[in-house]
Chain A
Amino acid sequence: MGSGRVSEKFISRSDKVAARMLGDEMMVMSVVDSTLFSLNETASLIWNAADGATPLSEIVEREIVAKFDVSAADAYRDALALAEELARHGILRIADRPRAAKR
């Protein structure tokens, strides 16, 4: 993973969301259309690490592969699918280049 990947992805949370942990889930609400999402434990880890500056592959390695019994390839595939789903709803952005992390 990481340097061997042809096209690295960088994910960042939209400014137009609200989010809060509730138990072991992350509740995310779009302030644009009030759509509410519930992210499970692993999805929450990815959400929290989505700073726009860290490559998705590094996030997966650090937050998922290091903590759960899952292969890097499977974890990356699932993480990318999650990111694409959230991006379709406008609450996450996917880019090919890093951007400065928001304070």
Chain B
Amino acid sequence: MSSLVEEMNAKAIALGVPIAAHLDLTYRCNERCVHCYLDHDDRGEMNHGEIRRLLEQMADAGVFMLALSGGEPLLREDFFPIVRRARQLQFNVKVKTNATLIEKREAAALCELGVANVQVSVYSHRAEVHDAITRVPGSFRRTIDAIRRLAAQGLKVTIADVLMRQNRLDYPGVQALARELGASFAIDPTITPHLNGDRSLLELNIARADLQAVMRDETIGGVAPQSCPPPSRAGAAEAVEVPCSAGHSFCYVSPTGDVYPCVQFPLLSGNVRSQSFLDIWRNSPELKEVRSIRERDLRVCSRCVHASGCSRCPGLAFMEGDMRGPSSADCEKSYARTGIAGAGMPDAANSGTAA
């Protein structure tokens, strides 16, 4: 991350500006990925006029980096008019998609509209593994063909590879595939609970030994940042004290207009159908509580040996019952990276440190 980006993020936190946001346009999807944390029913998603008003409110509030996602966002018939409006409002737009609906015309439109990055989920370099995860036969071929079309337009493509038990050994193949396709590669070893609270998806998480191998694999240069990466610890004093940008300079809006601190921090903070985006951002008691938390308030993590280097996610901690508590997924990652058990891992501490 460039120093100017770090400065921008630190300044946004200091000024209380939501510099980045993630907007899911729909939860509908044409794939049924085994690890997905969403259900795919339309529970009354915002119509086009509501999305346009929201975009205008977000621009006025200072949102600069905008991720448009889903579900599969291209299932919306007004997807391209939404992107066009977002670009007219001068957002830096990133689209997260499975790309199966991107033919040549769609790829050209994304390029013409000035989309900065298209992030595409690819779970394996082997079609049978990818298709088994998406539960849609032929999805691998359609996704890879679409990535070629996007790259041919000169668009920046990031291949995002979520690791789970089914594909834990395939990431080097996906990395090589990304290289061949001219795409960036990002890996995410964290499976999150279903937003309805069901934690059974966590059984898909890769085993501790596999996580260690991934976290120590220098060829991938570290794991992908979360949706709400922690701000730089260098620079502004405000950034040093803030555990994560969720709710500080980042937020998430669902297809029905619900506002949350982050896409994986299901603390409902308001709805843009009944309040303006800026009113929610500034005055939501929930967001104010999130913002009130400082690193010294983290009961377990503040005394952990990994405190300075951990990517602790407050949203995952919240889903475990305490937004001030540890996130076990991040405890595992710190342990896998260093072999040293942290304060949130009494089981690992009892079994000794890893090799």
Contacts and interface: CB of A to CB of B under 8 A. Distances in A.
The answer to whether A and B come from one shared complex is yes
A37 B8 CA distance: 10
Contacts of A34: 116-117, 156
Interface string B59-92: 1001111000000000000000000000100111
B76 to A, nearest CB: 22
A4 interface: no
A22 B116 contact: no
A31 B64 contact: no
Given A27-B8, A38-B4, A38-B8, A20 B59 contact: yes
B2 A36 contact: yes
A16 B117 CA distance: 12
A20 B11 CA distance: 13
A27 to B, nearest CB: 6
Given A31-B115, A34-B116, A20 B5 contact: no
A20 B2 contact: no
A38 B93 CA distance: 18
Given A16-B114, A18-B90, A36 B4 contact: yes
A72 B47 CA distance: 50
A19 interface: yes
Contacts of B116: 18, 29, 31, 34
Interface string B32-55: 000000000000000000000000
Interface string A12-38: 000111111111010101010010111
Contact of B62 (A15, A22, A36, A37): A22
Contacts of A21: 62
A21 B114 CA distance: 19
Nearest to A19: B90
A20 B4 contact: no
A18 B92 contact: yes
Nearest to B115: A31
A34 B114 CA distance: 12
B8 A36 contact: yes
Interface in A55-102: none
B146 interface: no
A27 B93 CA distance: 14
B3 to A, nearest CB: 10
Nearest to A102: B88
Contact of A22 (B19, B87, B90): B19
Given A34-B116, A36-B2, A18 B62 contact: no
22 contacts: A15-B114, A16-B114, A18-B64, A18-B65, A18-B90, A18-B91, A18-B93, A18-B114, A20-B19, A22-B15, A22-B19, A22-B64, A23-B11, A23-B15, A23-B17, A29-B64, A31-B114, A34-B117, A36-B5, A36-B8, A38-B4, A38-B8
Given A29-B92, A31-B114, 5 more contacts: A18-B87, A18-B93, A23-B11, A36-B2, A36-B4
Closest 5 CB pairs of A and B: A18-B92, A20-B64, A31-B116, A19-B90, A31-B114
